[in-house]
A and B are shown apart, each in its own frame.
Chain A
Amino acid sequence: MGAVSPPSTARRAMLTVALWAGFWVLALGLAGGLASIPLTQMNYGRGLDLGGILAGVGALVVLWALRPRDWFSDSSKQRSDPLGPEEFPELHALLDEVARKVGTSAPRRVLLSDAATAFIFMERKWLGLRREPVVGIGLPLFALLSRDELAAVLAHEYGHHVGGDLRLGPWVYRTRLAIGSAVESLDDSAFFLDVPFRAYGKLFLRVSASVSRQQELAADALSSATCGSASSARALRKVHAYGPAWRVYLEEDVVPLIEKSVRMPVLEGFRRFLQEGRRRESTEKALEEAEQQEPSPWDSHPPLDARLQALGAKGHSAIKPGPGCLELLGGERPAEDAWFARFTRGELHTMPWEDIAPRVLLPRITQQLAETSLNPRATPPEALPELLAEGGKLWDRLRPTGLDLLSPEAKRQRAKVLLGDWLATALELRGFRPELRPGTHLRFFRENEEVEPLDLVEWVATGQLPVDDYLAWCQSLGPPDPEEEKPVIPTG
């Protein structure tokens, strides 16, 4: 059975409380110091002067910024429905098994998360008189990790509970909230009142992150002691390797489609995303940014190398995802059902990835462009060079109503996206079949021809594809097909 060293827990607790107290000493000290100026002037001087009045106003501003806000809000109301033991007995069996090994009781509530991570927190009950642990497991973990590896992750989370880390959580949270509220209220204060709080916030984040990193290592140790270092190490490596990808995939592919009331095979899409060789440039950049982030003093988790080293594992060569343990949720379909039920609202139209482009995306684009000068039936593909020459003005002409907050280059880029959409509809009218793959732009296929409209626009814009060649290619497309009504799936 694993254990967490009590002295280190006590030290972390003292440090956390000290940080909380330090913030209030700073805040009330600043307010008190400012308030003392007019009081001292009235008591010892010949009355208030302008400096005293301004100091008094400053004290009131600081105190207003420190007022309690959402400190005791019940965030449980925002949580999704738990994964009940009746519905998911296998999962709860695993939770109980790991809890026994760790030497604690399994949490009664288990939540499904949309991130490639797991978490545990204490939920307040009975008006705060009782606290119970609640564990959350991300959907992708069921797809990426084996049963043993998931058990190691659970053991790690239990380690936070057993180690007393969860008792410190509310302190950290409240302090962070107070600092954030003060900074927000005093943000860009004309009188630099936010400066001390920003400085303390940096200190606090640095110190609390350091404490958090120690907590993570301690939890890793418990996981290793309970479930074996190999399983723990593999789980860490998989989460590290594929967690960022899941986030990017979720943000750039899944969420935009859900917003269009589409339900797709999420996990299958993720597998395709991982295997895709030619992703969108923005997606590649986001992945690169996520994977290549340098360690910073504000990280709440240690770097992977440090964690693996602590576990005694060597190297981190590429690791494949899977085999997964979706059987704990009754299989992939039930797992996705559970996820969609808890994270989406309203009616969704279920369809495979292959149907999304022709049934959802293209009809929407066509509808949006129909009332504009980029109607593909009115403006043939040959017009692309002229339209490109307009640059950002094309965006100005066709942008949706709302504030114009884009730079000239951004407008040009948005214009290109518009042109890409327009070209996409033009291609569809000429018999090209649209296809959407996770992580990629729309692509179009006709017989042996494959066209990615956005690439085409970029090539013409940059001169990679000479205008004459482009126009010749346009000629080869042929005329558009006759007009036909296509159903547009209503979007949320």
Chain B
Amino acid sequence: MVISDPAGLLERIPELRELCEDERIRRAVEGGDPFKVYRALRWAKWLGKLRSHRDTINALLARRRLFAKPLSGTPSLFTMNGFGTSFVGSSDKDASDGTSIAVHALVFFFIIPLLPLGAYVVRSNDSGGFRGRSWSIFARVPLGTLTWLYSRTVALGVIALVAMGAFKALHDSRYQDVYVFNAFDEPLDVKLGRASAQIPPHTRTKLTVRTGHQEGRAVSTKGIEVETIAFDIHSNVDLVVWNIAGAFPVFRERVEYRKDSGSPIDKEPAEVYCGKKTFEVRDVDDLFRDPPSSISMSSSQVVVYRTFIGAPPSTSDTPPLTACRHWLLSKDRMQDTLPFMEAEARLSGWAEEPTLQVIKVAGLFQPAEGYRMAKLALAANPNSADLHRAYQWTGRTVGKEAELLEEYQQRAKAEPDSPLAQYLSARLVRPPASGPIMEKLATRFPSDIEIARSVLHSRWQNADWKGTHQAWEHLRSLDAEGAIGLMSPEVAALAATGHKKEAIALVTGVFESSDDTDTQMRAAELYARLTRSDRLQQPDKLIQRLEEKANDGGKLWSLRARAGLSLSGAPSIPDIDLMRMIGKDPAKALQHAAKLTTAKMLWLGPGPVTLAYGESVRTGAEPLEKTLGAVLRTRITETDTLRRFMLGEDVPMDTLSVEPEVRAAACVVRARAKNISSAERKQLLEQARHDDVLEGPVSEAVATWEL
């Protein structure tokens, strides 16, 4: 058998010649790599080959130096703090030349091997201990069996680690954890991409989602759709959030750590993600866990910042949705509450209270959305008079008056005996025709509460004080609680007809008997207005009681301002400052109005809002006019007509269905128009005094505004 032997192995190990009857060994010899020959011999032994040459194989395997290869560079020997590379072990010693075989390995603590890198024929030159040895290195030899198995096991482990790292990296680049927050009071089933989960109320869950453009849907357990969404999910960010309807107060804080300070500092105001349905944050240090109270810094660092993402716990006293609403209102971002207010209304099955709230807010900012929601709500609750009223209001706001008239007239025709159908059709009729129609219906349906309410409104708006009182008494007989909610017209009627004491008794009775804070506040305001000029009475008596009960004794300055009480000692905040100035100096009042949030504007009384609106119209302050107009639209749909009236155009006031205080304010504003006669001006001011029965800011404006 001719065996090619480029490395001269057969000359060095003649025993190999007869072992070359094994194909693998022969190929290894012909390959010229002694290490391969060694491994081929080892495999032959393990596989039980060449049994007749077992002794020869064992003898050869026992002497690894026979399979030496020349050095291809010097192995590095370097340790730092005990970690590095070094020679360990000693085998196959040759007493004649002092050489042995040592393993070159990655070590820690100088001699404890972590990973074998190779084996060498070496001679130790001195005995400086395991730290200070020097070596003469002669040749490379193959690793021993156990060492080779260990190194291969470690190598396979490393390959597995690298493969896992690669898989994880690929997975991380293609998938992202999305945190989904549910601020609502019931569990939601969410699906985003292919991932889905059920999120308990007031908490979050994590979904692993494929990157790219994904669509999501959140549905209640009853199947009510809360939100559908589509957004791009990126993988190179630390945090991706789907905050359903933007209702959860997730926040981001930047915490500062200074060497000279004792504890971390919240450097900047937190960014709160209320109103944001989806967002990403790139670098997050502490995700939904409190930042550490202290961190270690290098000597060169003076300040270190950490980004903290947090959210209120599910056990928090304030529900997350309420917290978000309050925060958005405080930031004058009421329009951002619409998505979750609508979701709340949907989840309630379009119950009246949440639905009316969201329609009211939508009417301020997105009337078309309000109209849409009102339609949906009516479909769920077709017999709700409140929802019909809201529907009609939003419909008028978006210019659908003709369609509404048609729709409700059709309904009235179809249901001639339905008081609701007749009422809803009649209330769309414009004044002054609307009044008699409603009076007729009241005669026809004397027990219907809605008609009774409408008659009360109509008479009140026409300043028919006696009629107002009668209507109120009739309403009270039908619906005592509803009548309490409409005590303002009755109070005005009593005050206008000289029955102030009865009015005072009424509001005091309501204050004492009601549990509702808003009702008590209204009663306290009216009480203050009624008793302000009576020296024997304490006008802020009821307000004080409220302050003690609900405000720990602190002054309710906004309520005092509405009630026309002294504001001495009140803080200088926009709504207080506006109420101070609205009756005295409209220009300054407008300056304060520009700083008000929409929520604060809603809190202002009808008189101040109308006066401010009128002044903004007169001076051409468009942004303010738009905002105040939206607020005024919650009380009156014909704001265009009102606007034209205020500008002095030839528009009859009796076509507007407005409450007396609004009409009074509109007259004051019109009185300042340059294109009206002095006679009309006088008449307007008279009208204003007459209509402002409780002598609020409008009466003050009549006395002090420049005309």
Interface pair A292/B166, CB less than 8 Å apart = no
Interface pair B60/A407, CB less than 8 Å apart = yes
Interface pair B118/A188, CB less than 8 Å apart = yes
CA distance A184 to B99 in the complex (A): 26
A192 within 8 Å of B (CB atoms): yes
Q: Residue-by-residue, is B126-156 near A (CB-CB < 8 Å gives 1, otherwise 0)?
A: 0000000000001100000000000110110
Given contacts A184-B72, A188-B118, A293-B4, contact A45 B172 (CB under 8 A): yes
Closest to A52 in B: B165
Interface pair A403/B172, CB less than 8 Å apart = no
CA distance A40 to B171 in the complex (A): 10
Closest to B11 in A: A410
A190 within 8 Å of B (CB atoms): yes
B502 within 8 Å of A (CB atoms): no
Interface pair B65/A403, CB less than 8 Å apart = yes
B536 within 8 Å of A (CB atoms): no
Cβ-neighbour of A289 out of B4, B115, B161 (below 8 A): B4
Q: Residue-by-residue, is B1-37 near A (CB-CB < 8 Å gives 1, otherwise 0)?
A: 0111100000111110000000000000000000100
CA distance A45 to B172 in the complex (A): 5
CA distance A40 to B99 in the complex (A): 48
Given contacts A40-B169, A289-B2, contact A405 B162 (CB under 8 A): no
Interface pair B12/A405, CB less than 8 Å apart = yes
A468 within 8 Å of B (CB atoms): no
Interface pair A403/B68, CB less than 8 Å apart = yes
- A55 proximity list for chain B (CB < 8 A): 162, 165-166
- Distance from B37 Cβ to chain A, minimum over Cβ atoms (Å): 12
Interface pair B155/A190, CB less than 8 Å apart = yes
Cβ-neighbour of B12 out of A46, A288, A292, A410 (below 8 A): A410
- B94 proximity list for chain A (CB < 8 A): 403-404
Cβ-neighbour of B162 out of A37, A190, A288 (below 8 A): A37
Interface pair B162/A192, CB less than 8 Å apart = no
A134 within 8 Å of B (CB atoms): no
- B155 proximity list for chain A (CB < 8 A): 190-192
Interface pair A190/B66, CB less than 8 Å apart = no
B63 within 8 Å of A (CB atoms): yes
B121 within 8 Å of A (CB atoms): yes
- B59 proximity list for chain A (CB < 8 A): 407-408
Interface pair B12/A403, CB less than 8 Å apart = no
Q: Residue-by-residue, is A15-47 near B (CB-CB < 8 Å gives 1, otherwise 0)?
A: 000000000000000000010111011011110
B53 within 8 Å of A (CB atoms): no
B164 within 8 Å of A (CB atoms): yes
CA distance A413 to B96 in the complex (A): 20
- A44 proximity list for chain B (CB < 8 A): 169, 172-173, 235-236
- A52 proximity list for chain B (CB < 8 A): 165, 169
- A447 proximity list for chain B (CB < 8 A): none
Interface pair A191/B169, CB less than 8 Å apart = no
Chain A interface, >50% SS class: helix
Closest to A401 in B: B97
Interface pair A406/B173, CB less than 8 Å apart = no
A299 within 8 Å of B (CB atoms): no
Cβ-neighbour of B169 out of A37, A292, A403 (below 8 A): A37
CA distance A408 to B13 in the complex (A): 8
CA distance A191 to B156 in the complex (A): 7
Segment 149-204 of B: residues with Cβ below 8 Å from A: 151-152, 154-155, 158-159, 161-166, 168-170, 172-173
Closest to B169 in A: A40
Residue of B4, B12, B158 with most partner-chain A CB within 10 A: B158
Interface pair B3/A289, CB less than 8 Å apart = yes
Interface pair A54/B4, CB less than 8 Å apart = no
Given contacts A44-B169, A45-B172, A396-B96, contact A51 B162 (CB under 8 A): yes
- Distance from A408 Cβ to chain B, minimum over Cβ atoms (Å): 7
Closest to A55 in B: B162
Interface pair A51/B161, CB less than 8 Å apart = yes
- Distance from A280 Cβ to chain B, minimum over Cβ atoms (Å): 13
B238 within 8 Å of A (CB atoms): yes
Question: For chain A, which range describes its interface: under 10, 10 to 19, 20 to 34, or 35 or more residues?
Answer: 35 or more
Interface pair A406/B116, CB less than 8 Å apart = no
Cβ-neighbour of A192 out of B2, B13, B159, B168 (below 8 A): B159
- B117 proximity list for chain A (CB < 8 A): 190
CA distance A44 to B165 in the complex (A): 12
Cβ-neighbour of A50 out of B63, B165, B166, B238 (below 8 A): B165
A132 within 8 Å of B (CB atoms): no
- A337 proximity list for chain B (CB < 8 A): none
Q: Residue-by-residue, is B88-112 near A (CB-CB < 8 Å gives 1, otherwise 0)?
A: 0000001011010000000000000
Cβ-neighbour of B72 out of A37, A50, A187, A404 (below 8 A): A187
CA distance A45 to B238 in the complex (A): 8
Interface pair A410/B4, CB less than 8 Å apart = no
- Distance from B179 Cβ to chain A, minimum over Cβ atoms (Å): 14
A86 within 8 Å of B (CB atoms): no
Given contacts A51-B161, A192-B155, A192-B159, contact A404 B168 (CB under 8 A): no
Closest to B170 in A: A40
Interface pair B13/A51, CB less than 8 Å apart = no
CA distance A69 to B489 in the complex (A): 100
Segment 233-257 of B: residues with Cβ below 8 Å from A: 235-236, 238
CA distance A403 to B137 in the complex (A): 11
Segment 442-474 of B: residues with Cβ below 8 Å from A: none
Cβ-neighbour of B172 out of A40, A184, A289, A293 (below 8 A): A40
Interface pair B66/A407, CB less than 8 Å apart = yes
- Distance from A372 Cβ to chain B, minimum over Cβ atoms (Å): 15
CA distance A188 to B33 in the complex (A): 11
Interface pair B165/A191, CB less than 8 Å apart = no
CA distance A394 to B73 in the complex (A): 34
- A34 proximity list for chain B (CB < 8 A): 162
CA distance A289 to B17 in the complex (A): 14
Q: Residue-by-residue, is A251-265 near B (CB-CB < 8 Å gives 1, otherwise 0)?
A: 000000000000000
Interface pair B158/A403, CB less than 8 Å apart = no
- Distance from A33 Cβ to chain B, minimum over Cβ atoms (Å): 8
Cβ-neighbour of A410 out of B13, B138, B163 (below 8 A): B13
- B168 proximity list for chain A (CB < 8 A): 41, 45, 49, 51
CA distance A455 to B388 in the complex (A): 126
A58 within 8 Å of B (CB atoms): yes
- B151 proximity list for chain A (CB < 8 A): 190
A484 within 8 Å of B (CB atoms): no
Interface pair B65/A404, CB less than 8 Å apart = yes
CA distance A408 to B12 in the complex (A): 9
- A36 proximity list for chain B (CB < 8 A): 169
Given contacts A40-B169, A190-B116, A403-B139, contact A51 B163 (CB under 8 A): yes
- A483 proximity list for chain B (CB < 8 A): none
- Distance from B105 Cβ to chain A, minimum over Cβ atoms (Å): 10
CA distance A46 to B96 in the complex (A): 58
CA distance A175 to B35 in the complex (A): 25
CA distance A37 to B238 in the complex (A): 18
Closest to B141 in A: A405
Interface pair A409/B13, CB less than 8 Å apart = yes
Given contacts A37-B165, A40-B169, contact A405 B4 (CB under 8 A): no
Segment 101-127 of A: residues with Cβ below 8 Å from B: none
Interface pair B14/A404, CB less than 8 Å apart = no
Cβ-neighbour of B158 out of A54, A289, A405, A410 (below 8 A): A54
CA distance A43 to B237 in the complex (A): 8
Q: Residue-by-residue, is A175-214 near B (CB-CB < 8 Å gives 1, otherwise 0)?
A: 0000000001001101110000000000000000000000
Binding site for B on A (CB under 8 A): 34, 36-38, 40-41, 43-46, 49-52, 54-55, 58, 184, 187-188, 190-192, 288-289, 292-293, 396, 401-410, 413
User: Can you identify 8 A-B contacts, CB atoms within 8 angstroms?
Assistant: A37-B169, A40-B173, A41-B165, A51-B162, A190-B115, A288-B2, A403-B97, A409-B15
Shortest Cβ-Cβ A-B pairs, 10 listed: A51-B165, A40-B169, A45-B172, A51-B161, A44-B172, A44-B173, A407-B13, A44-B235, A409-B14, A52-B165
Binding site for A on B (CB under 8 A): 2-5, 11-15, 35, 59-60, 63, 65-66, 68, 72, 94, 96-97, 99, 115-118, 121, 138-139, 151-152, 154-155, 158-159, 161-166, 168-170, 172-173, 235-236, 238
